[in-house]
Structure 1
Amino acid sequence: MKRTSTEQAFFQRKLANIAVPEQPALPPGVPQVAAPPLENLVVCAPLPDAITEEEIIALADQLVGQRAPKKSRKYGERVELGDVVEVDLLGYFEGRLLPFSARKGLEVTVGEGDTLPWLDEALLACAVGDSLQLASENEGGTVHWLVDVTKATHHARPDRESAEYLALLDKKATSLEAAMEEVAHMLEHERVLEAQDEARDLVIDALVDRTVVDVPAALIDEEIRRDWARLEEPFLRSRDFGPEELREALDGWLRDAATRVEAERRLRLALALRAIAQQEGIVFDKEAMGLMVNDAKTRFGLKPATMKKALDDTNVVTQLMGLGMHLRTLQFVMDRATVTSA
Structure 2
Amino acid sequence: MANVVETLGKLERRVTISVPRDAVQQEVDGRLRQLAKTFRMPGFRPGKAPMKVVASQYGGQVQAEVLSDKVGSAFFEVQRAENLKVAGQPRFEPKLSAEGDADDSTIAFDATFEVYPEVTLGDVATAEVKRTVTNIGDDEVTRTLDILRKQRVTFAPRGDGEKVQDGDRVTVDFVGKIDGEAFAGGSAEDFVFTLGEGRMLPEFEKASVGLGAGESREFDLAFPEDYHGKDVAGKTAQFTVTIKQIELPQLPELDGEFAKTLGVADGDIDKMRTEVKDNLEREAKRRAQAELKNSVMDALLKLAADLEVPKALVEQDQQRLVELARQDLEQRGVPNAKTAPIPAEMFRDQAERRVKLGLILAELVAANDLKAKPDQIRKEVEEFAKSYEDPKEVVRWYYSNQQRLSEMEAYVVENNVVEFVTARAKVTDEEVPFEKLGATA
d(CA) in 1 for partners of 2:358, 2:194 = 42
Offset of residue 112 of structure 1: 8.8
- By how many angstroms is 1:59 displaced? 1.8
Bigger shift: residues 194-203 or 286-295: 286-295
Q: 1:159 and 2:252 equivalent?
A: yes
Q: Distance in 2 between matches of 1:112 and 1:196?
A: 37
* Identical counterparts, % of pairs: 18
Letter in 1 for 2:336: F
Contact 1:291 1:328 in 2 (8 A): no
1:207 pairs with 2:300? yes
Distance 2:400 2:315 in 1: 32
Give the CA deviation at 1:179: 5.1
Residues 185-210 of structure 1: per-residue CA shift (max 9 Å, x gap): 65455435433432232122111111
Kindly indicate whether residue 364 of structure 2 is the aligned counterpart of residue 270 of structure 1: no
The answer to whether the 8 Å contact 1:42/1:337 transfers is yes
Q: Which residue of structure 2 aligns with residue 191 of structure 1?
A: 284
1:100-151 CA-to-partner distances (Å, cap 9, x unmatched) read: xxxxxxxxxx85977x856999xxxxxxxxxxxxxx968xx45469xxxxxx
TM alignment of 1:86-101, pairs within 5 A: none
Larger mean CA deviation between 161-170 and 295-304 belongs to 295-304
Change (3 A) 1:44 1:162: closer
- Give the 5 Å matches for 1:72-151: 111=194, 117=199, 141-143=226-228
For structure 1, the residue ranges without an aligned partner over 5 or more in a row are 1-24, 70-80, 83-109, 122-135, 146-155
Q: Which amino acid letter does the alignment assign opposite residue 356 of structure 2?
A: R
**Residue among 97, 116, 121 paired with 1:31:** 116
* Aligned pair partner of 1:233 in 299, 311, 327: 327
1:276-319 deviation line (CA, Å, top 9, x unaligned): 122224445335544774688699999234334323xxx77766
Check the 8 A contact 1:33/1:272 in 2, yes or no.
no
TM-score of the aligned structures, taking structure 2 as reference length: 0.41
The residue identity in structure 2 corresponding to 1:310 is N
CA separation of 1:339 and 1:61: change in aligned 2, threshold 3 A: same
1:280 aligns with 2:368: yes
Deviation at 1:273, TM superposition (A): 0.8
Amino acid at match of 1:271: L
Which consecutive unaligned segments of at least 5 residues does structure 2 have? 1-84, 89-113, 155-167, 170-192, 205-222, 231-248, 431-441
- Work out whether residues 385 and 394 of structure 2, in 8 Å CA contact, stay in contact via their aligned partners in 1: yes
Deviation at 1:157, TM superposition (A): 8.1
Partner Cα distance (1:196, 1:242) in 2: 34
Measured against aligned partners, the alpha-carbon deviations of 1:69-93 in whole angstroms (never above 9, x if no partner) come to 9xxxxxxxxxxx99xxxxxxxxxxx
- Say whether 1:304 aligns with 2:387: no
- 2:256, 2:268 within 8 Å by CA — same for their partners in 1? no
Q: More helix per residue: 1 or 2?
A: 1
Task: Report if aligned partners of 1:43, 1:199 keep a CA contact under 8 Å in 2.
Answer: yes
Does the Cα contact within 8 Å between 2:87 and 2:312 map onto a contact in 1?
no
Letter in 2 for 1:27: A
2: distance between equivalents of 1:263 and 1:173?
49
Structure 1 residue aligned with 2:82: none
Contact 2:381 2:398 in 1 (8 A): no
Whole-angstrom distance in 1 between the partners of 2:429 and 2:361: 25
CA distance in 2, matches of 1:51, 1:203: 28
The structure-2 alpha-carbon separation of the partners of 1:319 and 1:294, relative to structure 1 and needing over 3 Å to count, comes to same
Contact 1:291 1:327 in 2 (8 A): no
Native 8 Å contact 1:310 1:316 kept in 2: yes
Q: CA deviation at 1:41?
A: 2.8
Match of 2:126 in 1: 40
Task: Using the TM superposition, give the Cα deviation of residue 47 of structure 1 relative to its aligned residue in structure 2, in angstroms.
Answer: 4.6
Taking structure 1 as the reference length, the TM-score comes to 0.50
CA RMSD of aligned residues (A): 5.0
d(CA) in 1 for partners of 2:268, 2:280? 20
Match of 1:94 in 2: none
CA contact (8 A) 2:255 2:267 kept: no
User: 2:405 and 2:255 mapped to 1: Cα distance?
Assistant: 50
**Residues 270 and 326 in structure 1, CA contact (< 8 A), matched pair in contact too:** no
Task: Provide the C-alpha distance between the structure 2 equivalents of 1:307 and 1:327, rounded to a whole number of angstroms.
Answer: 19
* 2:145 corresponding residue in structure 1: 60
Amino acid of the structure 2 residue aligned with 1:233: Q
